[in-house]
Structure 1
Amino acid sequence: MSKTPNFTGWRAVILAEEDSNVERLRRQLSLLGLSSAMQWLPLGGGDLPDLVIVDADRGWDELLPWPAKRPARPVVALLGSEAPGRIAWAISCGAGAIVPKPVTSASVYPALVLAVSSHEQRKEEEARIAHLEERLRLRPVVFAAIERLKVQKSIDEEAAYALLRDNAMRQRMPIERLAALFLGGADVMREVG
Structure 2
Amino acid sequence: MANQLTVVVVEEDRDRAIAIVDALRNGADCNVHVVGNTSGLARKIAEYAPDIVLIDIDHPTRDMLEELTLASGPLERPVAMFVSGAAGGLAQTAIEAGVSAYVVDGLSAERIKPVMDTAIARFSMVRQMRNELAETRRALEERKVIDRAKGLLMKAKGIDEDAAYALLRKTAMDQGRRVADVAEALVTASGLLG
**TM-score in terms of structure 2 length:** 0.68
- Equivalent in the alignment of 1:14: 9
Distance 1:151 1:92 in 2: 47
Structure 1 gap segments, 5+ residues each: 186-193
Q: 1:107 aligns with which of 103, 107, 111?
A: 111
Matched letter for residue 100 of structure 2? G
- Equivalent in the alignment of 1:191: none
The CA deviation at 1:116 is: 1.1
Tell me how many residue pairs correspond in the alignment.
178
Determine which structure has the larger helix proportion and give its number. Answer: 2
Distance 1:155 1:176 in 2: 19
The CA deviation at 1:151 is: 4.8
**Cα RMSD (Å):** 3.7
On the 8 A contact 2:59/2:87 being kept in 1, the answer is no
Q: State the identity as a percent.
A: 20
- Equivalent in the alignment of 1:35: 31
Matched letter for residue 13 of structure 1? V
SS at match of 2:100: strand
List structure 1 runs of 4+ shifted beyond 6 angstroms. 164-168, 181-185
The CA deviation at 1:53 is: 0.9
SS at match of 1:36: strand
Distance 1:129 1:34 in 2: 32
1:163 aligns with 2:166: yes
SS at match of 1:112: helix
Distance 1:75 1:164 in 2: 50
Cα deviation digits, residues 65-108 of structure 1 (max 9, x gap): 459x9532110111221232342343244221245545433311
On the 8 A contact 1:76/1:97 being kept in 2, the answer is yes
Structure 2 gap segments, 5+ residues each: 190-194
